[in-house]
Structure 1
Amino acid sequence: MISADDGTFAHLPVPVIRVQGTPEQCGFEYGVAARSLIAANLDLYLRRFRVEAGLDLAAVRAAGEAFRRTTEQFHPRVAQMLDGVAEGAGVGVGEIYALNARTELIYGSTTAAGPAAAVPVDGRDGGCTVAGVLGTHTASGNLLLGQNWDWHPDQREAMVLLATRDERGLTVLALAEAGMLAKTGLNSAGVGVCVNMLGCDRDGLPTDGTPPGVPYHVLLRAALEADTLAGAFKAAMRGTRNSSINLLLGQAGEAGGELIDLELVPGDAGWLHPADGLLTHANHLESGVRVHDTMKDYGGSSMFRSARARRLLAPAAQARKVTEEDLADLFGDHASFPHAICRHVDERDALADRSETVYSVLLDLDDLRLGIASGPPCGHEYGWLSLTR
């Protein structure tokens, strides 16, 4: 269900935080505005770091400081913003960087039981489905992206929509876990990003004393700091990595804009191009990059979600009439319920392993609009926010 964009925030399921200035100023203002949410999010993840990765507070802070040095080396503007977040929120810098490296710390640390990287993506059945449609195949002529973000349901109350306008004039609007800088989002240059977690046999933090790679969520923000699709691609590729990640990248422009899907694994990358105007992805590797895909060890809905998403969108794409409603219907699909594109909690899962679609996001890269529905999206409307408001 799609609601109108009336220019207000009342219809949005998450708070909107708007900041502007240099990266440091944006980060500081964000930290001040979201202080209570950041504290709540840190509590959630410090508990997960302890239980799932065996990391106490001292270890978390030390890991965060190491990730800070890597971020500063490869993405200094993102580092400046995160330093500002820590100051504004009144928390330690190491804790903020650990929060932004939560994927690496939860899935890449070594515990007494062995490497946490062996834990499968989002429990034992994957999570997150993304889709993009070139403007040549939409009813409006606009390039559309969207995704369901599947994660633990406890995360729902610690989220923000973060809108930043920097000293260069670039505006970024992104869904983010409080204290982080981006997840799914778009910017005023018409660049958009959607994301899936992946897993491979190369994932895991270094144990030989070498510095860690660029955190998963830092890559997302770095891509959204770029004013071209090529720039976003380069930013995502910069530096080493410890976790596998899939980015669906797009930019509005002539001839329907452009889309590319980028599968990043430690030490390698693969990519996919649109077929018949469409790109979709779930949580397994599709580009043929030469690693062992750990989703093969567990199976699950990822193996059909991407193909099903393409098939559900294909009739409208062939008619060149895909609409936002088509994407909303896709993200509400219940095939293989509860392990569906529209993911619902499976009560049979252990509490720590539970996952559902926490939020669903739609992006119109030509009109610079973001739509968001609380999850599971089958029962909620999408509210819209324009980048220019």
Structure 2
Amino acid sequence: MNGASRVTMDDPNVKTVYCTGSPYDIGFTHGSSVSAEVHHNVEMYSYFFGETAKITWQQARERAVTRFLPTIERQWPEIIDEMRGIAEGAGGGLTLDDIVTLNVRTEIAFTNYTDGCTSLGQNEGEKMYLAQNWDMIPELQKGMVLLHIKPQNSDIALRFLSEAGIVGKIGMNSAGLGLCMNALRSAALNPNNMPVHVMSRRLLQYARSYDDAVAIIEEFGLASSINYVLADKSGKFADIECSPVGNFLIRPENGYVAHSNHFYGPGRPLTLKDHPGADSLTRVARMRELTENDSREGVDATFETLRRRLSDEQGSPAAICRSVPPGAKGIDRLITLGTIMMELTSCTGQITIGRPCEDLPIVHWFF
């Protein structure tokens, strides 16, 4: 392979993979460096699809290949080369079809189910922060990976928290564009638009600003529903609830915007049904309360104060810092798997793997 690679363990719970080169090279490095984690995620999403969509992995793969692969090939053929590289790098009989299936897991499962994430964008003077918790079933922590990617013939590098085998998730790029993501459950689906995780990668790889990111979303559209908190190093930021039937803008108030796992932006048509859990409303209300309290008390936004908010356990177990409910089974065993915080004016960040309310090592990011 022409692409250079490096794997580190800055945190004992997650691998950091450095990839460069052509799309295929990047994919092969990704797949070969975290092969066990890719296979683990195939196994876990096979279980997850059975629980949420009531289909087998084979059925999910047929759906991914017939409904979504043609669109991805048409809209962004290079990312298909990268997915092929992931499959061949991971080995063990995995094919491009398996990796495409992982990358459309939102379109397959999250029209029937939503996880629990709490996000925040906050402008603090000359600093622009994005932060969120990612909540999911405990077993998926074993499949997490930190990807640092420098595509060939590009002056933009990107760094993001992902799941092994998935090409895009939560992070930032060296141009100063960052994003957080929250799952939104609606039955709306348009296979002619770009799948959520492919879109997240597209934004990180090509958007140099908030305005660029919005233009990309409008150009390609979303195949299913997702919430993005988008910001750039200039301090421009907002929340966009994206869906196949339209995008709904939530502008910051008092210097911040918070979101969880339900639609609340203006303009959503009645035909776009929302199915949030009750804790989605309480988590976003609690994040607003904590942020407003800090503002009244003159507490600046910093990585430390953001982590304190993301560590809040009011309403436990379904809190901002989530723990598994007693007696919960299957996909109801949600827990906070990781926290990512970014400061975009300096292109720096911090990640913890696990619940931020616990004493955990911090992975520092910078370009």
Please confirm whether the aligned pair reaches a TM-score higher than 0.5, indicating the same fold.
yes
Partner residue in 2 for 1:14: 14
The AA in structure 2 aligned to 1:105 is I
Cα distance in 2, alignment partners of residues 247 and 380 from structure 1? 28
Say whether the 8 Å CA contact 2:35–2:89 is kept in structure 1.
yes
The AA in structure 1 aligned to 2:33 is A
1:109-130 Cα shifts (integer Å, max 9, x gaps): xxxxxxxx3x3423xxxx1000
Residues 323, 52 of structure 1: CA spacing in aligned structure 2 closer, same or farther, 3 A cutoff?
A: closer
Instruction: Give 3-state SS (helix, strand or coil) of 1:329's partner.
Output: helix
Q: How does 1:124-273 map to 2 (within 5 A)?
A: 127-136=116-125, 141-167=126-152, 168-200=154-186, 202-204=187-189, 211=191, 213-225=193-205, 226-253=207-234, 257-273=235-251
Instruction: Give 3-state SS (helix, strand or coil) of 1:344's partner.
Output: coil
Say whether the 8 Å CA contact 1:248–1:260 is kept in structure 2.
yes
Instruction: Give 3-state SS (helix, strand or coil) of 1:349's partner.
Output: coil
Select the residue among 94, 97, 112 that pairs with 2:97.
94
Cα distance in 2, alignment partners of residues 36 and 48 from structure 1? 18
Partner residue in 1 for 2:5: none
Say whether the 8 Å CA contact 1:222–1:236 is kept in structure 2.
no
Check if 1:383 corresponds to 2:356.
no
Cα distance in 1, alignment partners of residues 64 and 90 from structure 2? 16
Cα distance in 2, alignment partners of residues 39 and 368 from structure 1? 32
Residues 55, 197 of structure 1: CA spacing in aligned structure 2 closer, same or farther, 3 A cutoff?
A: same
Check if 1:103 corresponds to 2:106.
yes
Cα distance in 1, alignment partners of residues 255 and 76 from structure 2? 32
Please identify runs of 4+ aligned residues in structure 1 that moved more than 6 A.
none
Instruction: Give 3-state SS (helix, strand or coil) of 2:99's partner.
Output: helix
Partner residue in 2 for 1:121: 114
Larger deviation, residues 339-348 vs 376-385: 376-385
Say whether the 8 Å CA contact 1:229–1:251 is kept in structure 2.
yes
Unaligned runs of 5+ in 1: 1-7, 108-116
Say whether the 8 Å CA contact 1:146–1:360 is kept in structure 2.
yes
Say whether the 8 Å CA contact 1:64–1:96 is kept in structure 2.
no
Partner residue in 2 for 1:74: 75
May I ask how many residue pairs the two structures share in their alignment?
353
Select the residue among 299, 303, 321 that pairs with 2:281.
303
Check if 1:370 corresponds to 2:349.
yes
Larger deviation, residues 85-94 vs 180-189: 85-94
Select the residue among 230, 243, 255 that pairs with 1:277.
255
CA offset at residue 51 of structure 1?
Answer: 4.4
Cα distance in 2, alignment partners of residues 239 and 100 from structure 1? 16
Instruction: Give 3-state SS (helix, strand or coil) of 2:120's partner.
Output: strand
Say whether the 8 Å CA contact 1:60–1:94 is kept in structure 2.
no
Structure number with higher relative contact order (C-alpha < 8 Å, ≥ 6 residues apart): 1
Cα distance in 1, alignment partners of residues 361 and 236 from structure 2? 25
CA offset at residue 374 of structure 1?
Answer: 2.3
Say whether the 8 Å CA contact 1:185–1:224 is kept in structure 2.
yes
Residues 85, 339 of structure 1: CA spacing in aligned structure 2 closer, same or farther, 3 A cutoff?
A: same
1:113-156 Cα shifts (integer Å, max 9, x gaps): xxxx3x3423xxxx1000111132xxxx3211100001111101
Partner residue in 1 for 2:49: 49
Cα distance in 1, alignment partners of residues 224 and 17 from structure 2? 29
CA offset at residue 183 of structure 1?
Answer: 1.6
Cα distance in 2, alignment partners of residues 240 and 386 from structure 1? 30
Over the matched positions of the two proteins, sequence identity in percent amounts to 30
The AA in structure 2 aligned to 1:96 is I
Partner residue in 2 for 1:345: 324
The AA in structure 2 aligned to 1:221 is R
Say whether the 8 Å CA contact 2:209–2:231 is kept in structure 1.
no
TM-score by length of 1: 0.84
Larger deviation, residues 172-181 vs 298-307: 298-307
CA offset at residue 298 of structure 1?
Answer: 5.5
The AA in structure 1 aligned to 2:101 is A
Cα distance in 2, alignment partners of residues 320 and 77 from structure 1? 45
Instruction: Give 3-state SS (helix, strand or coil) of 2:320's partner.
Output: coil
Instruction: Give 3-state SS (helix, strand or coil) of 2:220's partner.
Output: coil
1:223-280 Cα shifts (integer Å, max 9, x gaps): 1112222222222333343421000001012xxx111111011211101121111111
Say whether the 8 Å CA contact 2:19–2:148 is kept in structure 1.
yes
Say whether the 8 Å CA contact 2:250–2:266 is kept in structure 1.
no
Partner residue in 2 for 1:336: 315
Partner residue in 1 for 2:4: none
Cα RMSD after superposing both structures:
2.1
Residues 59, 191 of structure 1: CA spacing in aligned structure 2 closer, same or farther, 3 A cutoff?
A: same
Cα distance in 2, alignment partners of residues 79 and 194 from structure 1? 24
Say whether the 8 Å CA contact 2:10–2:16 is kept in structure 1.
no
